[in-house]
Amino acid sequence: MFRSLIRPAATRLPLAYLAPARGLEDEAYLKPIPTHSGVSTLVLNRPQAKNAISMKLLDQLADCLEVASFDKNLRAVILSSSTAGAFCAGADLIERRSMTETQVNKFLADLRAALHKLENLPVPTIAAIDGPALGGGLELCLACDLRIAGHGVTKIGLPEVKLGIIPGAGGTQRATRLIGLSRAKDLIFTGRMLTAQQALEWGLVDYVSEEDQSAVERALELAGEISVNAPLALRSAKKAVSRALELPLEPGLDFERATYDSLLKTQDRLEALQAFKEKRKPVFKGE
């Protein structure tokens, strides 16, 4: 079932590689990056709807995350759009109008589960925001480890109160943990839109691309810096850092030490020591 969700690697970079193959209609798919070993993009592909989250897109997104979670060769994932100038406009409100109450409840439960899976992928994740990230679109970004906004992006926000609801896919919780209580209240109560630079100043994104650079291009640079490191160490580091806000300091330190100890006898650790001795770059195998 999952095989069709993995697209063959493309041969052109940077933006052309995101274009879907002709005749395929996946609304979300994984695509390895040939120039970056261990890096894949998780591509949103509903250009006609600005990647609004439909039931089909959500189902395929969840399947892609399932595939990624078991890929031992994966070192980083970039969440991106197949179309320049777009990221994700949030939930598909046109589809929502025709959904029954049961379907809405299932959609919200499935969306929560998918974002939980995204947040807990064992490898670092980067959201490449090359267009508006609104509502559920921004909530997807908040479930990633790092966020990069394209230089010219002008619409990043959680406008749900303008539609008579509140952020319902983790926005009230993840935004508060990321940018603090007061700024989260400001963002959500007003439903304001932030530019890329404002989002950087607020701490909502971690990087803004250069003026002549897309968010995907900047994300590839960052993924390149990440993916050269020891795969098991990356996974363990993510696990330890992610527990930091959940645990008091002393239990957190205990968890960190246990995670650290588990790496000491790995082949990658021994390779790193040998490479240091020989003054060369280590060759990591994730073992």
Q: What letter would DSSP give residue 104?
A: H
Rounded distance, CA 44 to CA 29, Å? 7
Rounded distance, CA 252 to CA 246, Å? 8
Between vectors from CA 9 to CA 8 and to CA 11, what angle results, nearest 5°?
130
Catalytic residue among 135, 136, 150, 171: 136
Residue 113 pairs in a beta bridge with none
Annotation marks residue 25 as catalytic: no
Rounded distance, CA 207 to CA 224, Å? 15
23 φ, ψ (degrees, to nearest 5) = 90, -10
Q: How far is CA 89 from CA 20, 48, 114, 131, 223, in A?
A: 19, 11, 17, 9, 25
- Fill in the amino acid letter for 161: V
H helix count then E strand count, the chain: 11, 8
Residue 128 pairs in a beta bridge with 148
Annotation marks residue 160 as catalytic: yes
Tell me the three state secondary structure of residue 261. helix
Query: Could you tell me the two tokens for 160?
Result: 């749900």
- Fill in the amino acid letter for 84: A
Catalytic residue among 38, 68, 86, 160: 160
Catalytic residue among 62, 89, 91, 143: 91
Q: What is the dihedral of CA 140, 145, 150, 154, to 10 degrees?
A: 50
Question: Where in the sequence numbering do the catalytic residues fall?
Answer: 91, 136, 139, 160
